[in-house]
């Protein structure tokens, strides 16, 4: 099983959801050898529920994943917190919706929820909790108290950070940080454009269909994290195309 733990199917928070863009993203993911993704769209993206309304209407849901013509899509979201940083939640679609509804009123900077209150929410105990890009300068997580950091299931080795800060340096920094806390590291492309799929992937020894299976496979160390030799090209190309599209949308 080859899975990406940090993905987006919208170009940016402000654009409306496009079923065609999602389907293009899945095709590109498949083309890069992936067999599954966790969809971690920003919780405060425009019309967040449109994404899951479409998935519910279009695809069958088995155990904890949407079956997109044999490709597995696990539900999730990326959440900004008051202390700074982003947290990825991955779980059953019902829990994703439940937690997102509890975040109403916390969508804007200045009203983001605290990590402590977030982790106390109804439904959170059944989620996979990933500390996203812990050393990104604009929104790091490494500064959080150690007792909070140890509550994460995994930390994110993020393709954008590998590109920006250097593959070897960032990989060493994240691995050392996670090892001291006893928390595994998983890879995420953090793609907003399909070209970025395949930059960082996780190869699991076991096929997983539920959130507990995913979590236990990683915790048992039955996986390998793979960084593509084309990562720098993939992230650069995706970023350039994304900016061109955004500029054309603004000018249009």
* Long-range contacts formed by 21-28: CB under 8 A, 24+ apart: 22/51, 22/54, 24/194, 25/191, 25/194, 25/197, 26/68, 26/71, 26/73, 27/194, 28/194, 28/195, 28/197
| Mean pLDDT computed over every residue of the chain | 96
- Please, which residues have CB within 8 angstroms of residue 69's CB and are 6 or more apart in sequence? none
Output the pTM of the full model: 0.96
CATH architecture of the domain with range 2-251: Alpha-Beta Barrel (3.20)
CB of 242 closer than 8 Å to CB of 191: no
Whether residue 247 is predicted with pLDDT greater than 90 in this model: the reply is: no
Mean pLDDT of the region 169-192: 98
Instruction: Give pLDDT tens digits for 38-57.
Output: 999 999 999 999 999 999 99
The tokens of 146 are what? 């150690």
pLDDT at site 246: 75
pLDDT at site 96: 98
pLDDT at site 105: 97
The tokens of 87 are what? 């947290």
Mean pLDDT of the region 143-167: 97
Q: Are strands 65-68 and 2-7 parallel, antiparallel or unpaired?
A: unpaired
**In 3D, which of 219, 184, 217 has the Cα closest to residue 203?**
217
pLDDT at site 251: 65
pLDDT at site 252: 57
Domain boundaries, the chain: 2-251
């Amino acid at each position: 099983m080859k899975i990406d733990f940090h993905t987006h199917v919208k170009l940016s928070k402000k654009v409306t959801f496009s079923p065609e863009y999602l389907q293009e993203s899945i095709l590109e993911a498949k083309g890069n050898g992936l067999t599954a993704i966790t969809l971690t769209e920003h919780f405060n993206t425009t019309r967040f529920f449109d994404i899951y309304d479409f998935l519910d209407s279009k695809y069958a849901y088995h155990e904890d994943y949407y079956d997109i013509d044999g490709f597995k899509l696990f539900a999730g979201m990326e959440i900004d917190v008051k202390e700074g940083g982003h947290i990825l939640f991955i779980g059953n679609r019902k829990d994703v919706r439940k937690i997102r509804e509890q975040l109403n009123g916390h969508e804007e900077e200045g009203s983001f929820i605290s990590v402590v209150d977030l982790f106390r929410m109804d439904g959170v105990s059944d989620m996979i909790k990933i500390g996203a890009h812990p050393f990104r300068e604009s929104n790091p997580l490494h500064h959080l108290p150690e007792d909070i950091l140890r509550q994460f299931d995994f930390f994110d080795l993020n393709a954008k950070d590998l590109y920006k800060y250097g593959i070897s340096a960032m990989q060493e920094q994240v691995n050392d940080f996670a090892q001291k806390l006893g928390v595994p590291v998983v890879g995420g492309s953090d793609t907003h454009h399909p070209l970025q799929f395949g930059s960082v992937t996780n190869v699991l020894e076991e096929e997983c269909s539920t959130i507990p299976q995913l979590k236990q496979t990683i915790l048992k160390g039955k996986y390998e994290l793979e960084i593509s030799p084309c990562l720098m090209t993939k992230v650069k190309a995706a970023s350039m195309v994304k900016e061109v599209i955004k500029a054309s949308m603004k000018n249009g």
